[in-house]
Amino acid sequence: MTVPKAHLKLPYLLHGGDYNPDQWQAYPQIIDQDFTMMPQAGVNTVTVGVFSWAALEPEEGHYDFGWLDQVFDRVEAMNGRVILATPSGARPHWLADRYPEVLRTDEYGRQALFGGRHNHCFTAPSYREQTQQINRKLAERYGQRPSLLLWHISNEFGGECHCDLCQAAFRQWVQKKYQTLAAVNEAWWTPFWGHTLTAWDQIHSPSPIGDTNLKGLNLDWRRFVTDQTIDFYENEIQPLRELTPEIPITTNFMTDTPAMMPFHGLDYQKFATHLDVISWDSYPAWGNDQESTADLGLKVAMINDYYRSLKQQDFLIMESSPSLVNWHPFNRPKRPGVNRLAGLQNIASGSDSMLYFQWRQSRGASEMFHGAVVDHHGSTATRTFQEVSQLGADLKQLAPVRQLPHVPARVALVFDYDNMCALADSEAYADTTKQYWQTLQQHYAYFWRHDIPIDVISPQADLAPYQLVLDPMHFLMDQAWIDKVADFTQAGGTVVGTYLSGVVDERTLAYLGDQPQRLHELYGVQTTEVDTLYPHQHNGVHYGDQTYPAQDYCEVITNQTASVLATYTADFYAGQPAITKNQYGAGTAYYLAARTDAACLTALYHQLATELDLHPTYPLAKASSDISIQVRGDQNQRYLFVMNFGETANTINLTQPLTEVLSNRTYPAGAQELAPYQVLVFHELIK
Ligand code: GLA
Ligand code: GLA
């Protein structure tokens, strides 16, 4: 494994995005126009080369770098920066024709034809060789260019291949992990239905026409897909590390929309350790009819916190649409002001960029109607161009922010990729209501709405910086995590766990008897039964002096050492514990046996925030939780991003006069109104 070592040296906050002039080679006047318009939009960075392999190497071994040389020249003439992509996201026709093994095979065993993108075999030696060759050429030619800022590897890695080469690689992976077939048979519980493996070559990836029910096989296949993708990526970057060790490396991660959860196909928490810089592509469905802008803003905030937490450092928004996309069920343009709100929200969360897909709308093919900074009309007078230019000017004002981190969090919310896969695959509970990430969002909400910084961490993270760890629906838990969270609590930390936790081990085998014992000791309770409710059924939880609704999941638990904070109000377990609190060493462990509503979580977290003295980084009275206040700063100065996600005006109350950076004027103490979607950024020197 290559050890990541290069650091991003940012001359400014990045503004710009995907630039694809290879499709406009027959229209030189368009390219001239691009470089006139870019400075007008405040563009200082372009991402080039994504999907450009056919333009760079039209025939095997014959290269055409002329057009890309010109992009570098012209970007340098405007003192801009280039994010250079390696082109492996889409291969040239000749490559697939000559090396058909690069074409992916699906889980039914069908090999793909040429077409599309993001669909190559991660194992095929010829693709690995070819990508190294083209990447070496790029590094040799552009590695010393002063404008080269960052390598962008491929594009949105994802998917899987089931060809014979991948089957062989998977078998090796399994063999290395388990050593003996007996261990595999135990881990995958193959004697059920008599699927006992008697030879290594019987191992096959999960398939709808083969095995899909062996939970351990399914999870190990997911782990293998992540490892094989990383292995492919490591192979791709090898010439870049060799020739340009000082240029940092990223690959753009993606997010499932509309849930705004990390792409389910890869373990990004593992992948992140191989990147120098985290970047992700942000396409929230702003202006949809299912949720308020503030509720969507909360989801965006959480996924930003997740990406920031991957390396505990600033990240980049690699792509976003300045207006609409072409792949949501309904493709609605951003409302006036929302591009600015979204862009500044990203900066507030720790992004050092707002980059778009794409600079200029394509004339044909798949994404010709996707929003772009410059549309088919080609004018600077469009609302989109004007709003992008406005944000470009704002980011210039905010340039010093790139040196300042998002303030550290004392609260951590745990997200576990293996757990997400195992829970979804569990053939248990209910099909539609498990909703792991959505449940994490519900726990996150209190902290976002109260401006209390919070990280979204993996079970591998160090818990030392935190006072409070939220660990909901942790169905799959290994002993290492149980020990870590128990040690954390024993030493004085506070943990909140919930229903459907500690059910299976890392192999997805159910814990037997009193296991996992330390988890039961931590919470002081043990689950005896899970009541899965139909969507229209409810129970109640009596907590404090109120009754809150409980839905979806109500566990019947036996209390061993905890004190009971809340009890069920109905059904055969009425009066039995629903929320408990257990003293464990010097710390405290709360257990929520039922899924409650937001009001109940608010009441609980309000109590915890008070007890633990968790407060906003900057105490600023606000009239509504539709206003969010996020802070980037250090011991000398801070920037307060005050963002109104509300569809109506909302007020804040300044306790002292503060300088607003975007308008460059001083706001007096007292009430200040923010228009819908308005953002104010205050700068404060700390004496
Ligand atoms: C059927 C099958 C059993 C088992 C049950 C589960 O009855 O015969 O093997 O799968 O369904 O409900
Ligand atoms: C992804 C891809 C881009 C483009 C955009 C469209 O992020 O990386 O190439 O397809 O989606 O939204």
| Atom 5, ligand 2: residue with shortest CA distance | 357
**Is a pLDDT exceeding 80 seen at residue 143?**
yes
| Atom 4, ligand 2: residue with shortest CA distance | 357
**Is a pLDDT exceeding 90 seen at residue 362?**
yes
Over the stretch 586-643, which tens digit does the pLDDT of each residue have?
A: 999 999 999 999 999 999 999 999 999 999 988 899 999 999 999 999 999 999 999 9
Residues 6+ apart with CB under 8 A from 664: 397
Q: Is 302 in the pocket of ligand 2 (CB under 6 A)?
A: no
Predicted local distance difference test score (pLDDT) of residue 617: 87
Q: Give the span between the Cα atoms of 257 and 352, in whole angstroms.
A: 22
Over the stretch 377-392, which tens digit does the pLDDT of each residue have?
A: 999 999 999 999 999 9
Q: Quick one: pLDDT band at residue 418, thresholds 50, 70, 90? A: very high
**Nearest in space to 43 (alpha carbons), one of 378, 389, 317:** 389
Query: pLDDT > 90: what percent of the chain?
Result: 98
| Atom 3, ligand 2: residue with shortest CA distance | 357
Predicted local distance difference test score (pLDDT) of residue 47: 98
Active-site residue (options: 319, 506, 521, 555): 319
Predicted local distance difference test score (pLDDT) of residue 619: 83
Closest ligand to 427 CA? 1
Q: Give the span between the Cα atoms of 227 and 225, in whole angstroms.
A: 5
Q: What is the mean pLDDT of residues 196-208?
A: 98
Over the stretch 50-87, which tens digit does the pLDDT of each residue have?
A: 999 999 999 999 999 999 999 999 999 999 999 999 99
Predicted local distance difference test score (pLDDT) of residue 14: 98
Q: Ligand 1 center to residue 213 CA distance, Å?
A: 14
Over the stretch 567-580, which tens digit does the pLDDT of each residue have?
A: 999 999 999 999 99
For residue 318, give the ligand 2 atom closest to its CA.
7
Closest ligand to 193 CA? 1
Predicted local distance difference test score (pLDDT) of residue 4: 56
Say whether 427 is catalytic. no
**Is a pLDDT exceeding 70 seen at residue 3?**
no
**Is a pLDDT exceeding 80 seen at residue 1?**
no
Record the tokens describing residue 389, joined without a space: 């230019």
Say whether 319 is catalytic. yes
Predicted local distance difference test score (pLDDT) of residue 503: 98
Rounded to a whole number of angstroms, the CA Rg of the chain reads 26
Predicted local distance difference test score (pLDDT) of residue 349: 98
Whether the CB-CB separation of 591 and 580 falls below 8 Å is answered with yes
Q: What is the mean pLDDT of residues 539-546?
A: 97
Q: Give the span between the Cα atoms of 252 and 277, in whole angstroms.
A: 10
**Is a pLDDT exceeding 50 seen at residue 356?**
yes
| Atom 12, ligand 2: residue with shortest CA distance | 325
Over the stretch 316-345, which tens digit does the pLDDT of each residue have?
A: 999 999 999 999 999 999 999 999 999 999
pTM of the model: 0.97
Q: Quick one: pLDDT band at residue 687, thresholds 50, 70, 90? A: confident
**Nearest in space to 558 (alpha carbons), one of 585, 578, 534:** 578
Query: pLDDT > 70: what percent of the chain?
Result: 99
Q: Quick one: pLDDT band at residue 395, thresholds 50, 70, 90? A: very high
Query: Which of the listed residues 117, 156, 286, 321 should we mutate to test ligand 2's pocket, taking the one with most ligand atoms within 8 A of CB?
Result: 156
Predicted local distance difference test score (pLDDT) of residue 276: 98
Predicted local distance difference test score (pLDDT) of residue 436: 98
For residue 117, give the ligand 2 atom closest to its CA.
9
Predicted local distance difference test score (pLDDT) of residue 310: 98
Q: Is 319 in the pocket of ligand 2 (CB under 6 A)?
A: yes
The reply to whether omega before 386 is within 30° of 0 (cis) is no
Predicted local distance difference test score (pLDDT) of residue 675: 98
In the three-class reduction of DSSP (H, G, I as helix; E, B as strand; rest coil), residue 512 is classed as coil
Q: Give the span between the Cα atoms of 360 and 531, in whole angstroms.
A: 53
The single-letter code of the amino acid at 170 is F
Cα 533 vs. chain centroid, distance in angstroms?
30
Q: Ligand 1 center to residue 194 CA distance, Å?
A: 15
User: Any idea of the CA torsion for 226, 502, 207, 204, to the nearest 10 degrees?
Assistant: 70
Predicted local distance difference test score (pLDDT) of residue 177: 98
Burial of 573 (0-12, 13-18, 19+ CB in 10 A): buried
**What mean pLDDT, rounded, does the chain reach?**
97
Q: Is 314 in the pocket of ligand 2 (CB under 6 A)?
A: no
Over the stretch 238-295, which tens digit does the pLDDT of each residue have?
A: 999 999 999 999 999 999 999 999 999 999 999 999 999 999 999 999 999 999 999 9
Residue 470 β-bridge partners: 413, 496
Q: Is 157 in the pocket of ligand 2 (CB under 6 A)?
A: no
Closest ligand to 156 CA? 2
